[in-house]
């Protein structure tokens, strides 16, 4: 463990992923960016790729470029599935937002399941809770909101069980295998939100027998603000899906312009309207870069970085009231560290004023994410050092307590 900055420098010197930081735009080398779980950095290749899609694809090719663009949602989906989800082809599409994909798949799951009850947890991401509640309401189904997803107990009435693999607040990583098995025991389907897991936690959905999954691409996947999300549906569940949003891009023959909706083959029926071509290009570059690095190597570095952050916070924690709430065991945590403090919001502002960028989550959590693709060990070390300076000097007390819109 790096107790000194020199030790952190030594970890960087032997880091097999050292090259990867150079693949990203680092506009200000003095900025310690610990918020890659909210908005990942811009890969240099993405900058070039987007510029070529704009200049050549759009500028020169105009409408003819759609000949290749129409295949992007399924092609990029297949590549994303193979590289990051551990799934074979024909099960993943990229398009729409995580919110919309969750809505579509929650309906699809309940169409297929025997029971009709919807299960989620109190701590799930807001959009997930809102969407799942609305889907249950629309179908007259019961919504069961459990306190702790890790001890989910199946009931015969359960039809859809939906949790986030990594908790956006605490960073806790659930045992997807165990929970999916428990859902299957009562014939329920498991729909996982992988937003905080994809691109940083190796996933093996085919092997786990996961039914459905969604997740966003602008966090660890580095595809940029508002980039389209993915949706995964296991092969054998696809044919029965009668899409709740029957858009023309999910139609079996979209240019027939026929009177009625006929679902397209397989997972492609989940597509809705005209795809976001620029966003898809960015997703493609993001996933290629991560797959070159290898998820195993990314995960190893991520665990080492978060170990360092937690160990350093532990040293100053007792004196200054900082409490790491992220689980310690590697198999139980994602890639960010959450620290509880009554003045977490003021501390977050003080850190940002000192060129360290963590973020804040209500009511009292400071999140620090040393994303392994571009964060050096010295960045993690310096970030926690500045945190120590802030809390020991009380510098955060001069920042406002009222919350402005938070990102």
Residues annotated as catalytic are 125, 193, 218-219, 367
Binding residues with ligand PLP: total (CB under 6 A): 13
* 164 lies in the binding site for ligand PLP (CB under 6 A): yes
**Residue from the set 216, 237, 378, 391 that interacts with ligand PLP by CB under 6 A:** 216
Question: Of 65, 116, 127, 355, which one interacts with ligand PLP (CB under 6 A)?
Answer: 127
* Per CB under 6 A, 196 contacts ligand PLP: yes
Residue 81: helix, strand or coil by DSSP? Answer: helix
- For the CB of residue 230, give the shortest distance to ligand PLP in the complex, in Å: 11
CB of 56 to ligand PLP, least distance (A): 29
Of the pair 226, 266, the CB lying nearest ligand PLP is at 226
Residue 191 engages ligand PLP in binding (rule: CB under 6 A): no
Q: Does residue 110 sit in helix, strand or coil?
A: helix
Q: Does residue 129 interact with ligand PLP by CB under 6 A?
A: no
Single out the residue of 15, 23, 78, 193 in contact with ligand PLP (rule: CB under 6 A).
193
Q: Give the Cα separation of 37 and 171 in Å (integer).
A: 10
Q: How far apart are CA 277 and CA 194, in angstroms?
A: 22
* Minimum distance, C-beta of residue 120 to ligand PLP, in the bound complex (Å): 11
Cβ proximity to ligand PLP, 152 vs 168, nearer residue: 168
- Find the angle CA(218)-CA(219)-CA(221) to the nearest 5 degrees: 75
Q: Is 284 in the site for ligand PLP (CB under 6 A)?
A: no
- Contact (CB, 8 A) for 68 and 277: no
DSSP strand pairing (92-94 vs 32-33): unpaired
Binding residue for ligand PLP, selected from 24, 33, 163, 168, defined by CB under 6 A: 168
Q: Which member of 46, 92, 195, 272 binds ligand PLP (CB under 6 A)?
A: 195
CB of 127 to ligand PLP, least distance (A): 5
Going 77 to 80 to 83 to 85, the CA torsion angle's sign is negative
Candidates 21, 86, 97, 297: give the one binding ligand PLP (CB under 6 A). Answer: 97
DSSP H helical ranges for 254-406 = 277-293, 295-320, 344-353, 377-393
Q: Does 162 bind ligand PLP (CB under 6 A)?
A: no
Segment (H or E) for 11: helix 5-13
Question: CB–CB of 160/109 below 8 Å?
Answer: yes
Which residue lies nearer to ligand PLP by CB, 219 or 376? 219
User: Distance between CA 135 and CA 102 in Å, rounded?
Assistant: 10
Q: How many residues does the chain have?
A: 407
287-309 in b/e form (b: 16+ CB < 10 A) is: bbbbbebebeebbbbbebbbbbb
Does 222 contact ligand PLP by CB under 6 A? no
Q: Does 338 bind ligand PLP (CB under 6 A)?
A: no
Instruction: Report CA 341 to chain centroid distance, whole Å.
Output: 25
Query: Should residue 125 be labelled a site residue for ligand PLP when binding is judged by CB under 6 A?
Result: yes
- Contacts of residue 151, defined as CB under 8 A and 6 or more positions apart, other chains included, come to none
Which residue number, 23 or 128, has a Cβ lying nearer to ligand PLP?
A: 128
To the nearest whole angstrom, how small is the minimum distance from the Cβ of residue 228 to ligand PLP? 9
Alpha helices (H) along 17-71: 18-21, 44-52, 66-69
| Chain contacts with ligand PLP (rule: CB under 6 A) | 97-99, 125, 127-128, 164, 168, 193, 195-196, 216, 229
């Amino acid at each position: 463990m790096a107790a000194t900055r020199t030790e952190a420098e030594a970890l960087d010197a032997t880091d097999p992923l050292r090259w990867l930081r150079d693949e990203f735009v680092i506009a200000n080398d003095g900025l310690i960016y610990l918020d890659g779980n909210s908005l990942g950095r811009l890969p240099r290749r993405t900058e070039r790729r987007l510029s070529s899609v704009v200049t050549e694809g759009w500028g020169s090719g105009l409408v003819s470029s759609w000949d290749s663009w129409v295949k992007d949602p399924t092609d990029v989906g297949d590549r994303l599935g193979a590289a990051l989800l551990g799934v074979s082809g024909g099960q993943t599409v990229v398009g729409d937002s995580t919110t919309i994909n969750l809505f579509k798949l929650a309906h699809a799951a309940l169409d297929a399941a025997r029971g009709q009850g919807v299960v989620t947890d109190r701590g799930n991401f807001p959009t997930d809770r809102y969407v799942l509640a609305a889907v249950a309401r629309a179908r007259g189904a019961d919504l069961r909101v459990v306190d702790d997803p890790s001890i989910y107990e199946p009931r015969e009435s359960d039809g859809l069980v939906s949790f986030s693999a990594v908790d956006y607040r605490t960073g806790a990583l659930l045992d997807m295998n165990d929970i999916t098995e428990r859902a299957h025991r009562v014939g329920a389907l498991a729909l996982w939100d992988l937003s905080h897991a994809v691109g940083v936690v190796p996933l093996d959905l085919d092997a786990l027998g996961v039914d459905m999954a969604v997740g966003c691409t602008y966090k660890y996947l580095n595809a940029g603000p508002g980039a389209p999300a993915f949706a995964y549906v296991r092969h054998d569940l696809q044919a029965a899906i009668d899409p709740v949003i029957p858009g023309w891009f999910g139609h079996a023959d979209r240019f027939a312009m026929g009177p009625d909706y006929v679902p397209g083959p397989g997972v492609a029926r989940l597509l809705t309207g005209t795809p976001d071509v620029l966003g898809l290009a960015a997703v493609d570059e993001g996933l290629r870069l991560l797959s070159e690095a290898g998820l195993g190597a990314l995960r190893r570095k991520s665990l080492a970085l978060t170990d360092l952050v937690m160990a350093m916070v532990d040293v100053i924690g007792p004196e200054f009231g900082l409490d790491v709430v992220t689980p310690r065991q590697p198999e139980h945590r994602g890639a960010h560290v959450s620290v509880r403090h009554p003045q977490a919001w003021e501390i977050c502002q003080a850190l940002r004023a000192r060129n360290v960028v963590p973020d804040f989550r209500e009511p009292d959590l400071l999140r620090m994410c040393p994303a392994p693709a571009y964060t050096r060990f010295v960045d993690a070390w310096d970030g926690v050092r500045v945190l120590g300076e802030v809390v020991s000097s009380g510098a955060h007390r001069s920042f406002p307590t009222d919350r402005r819109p938070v990102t």
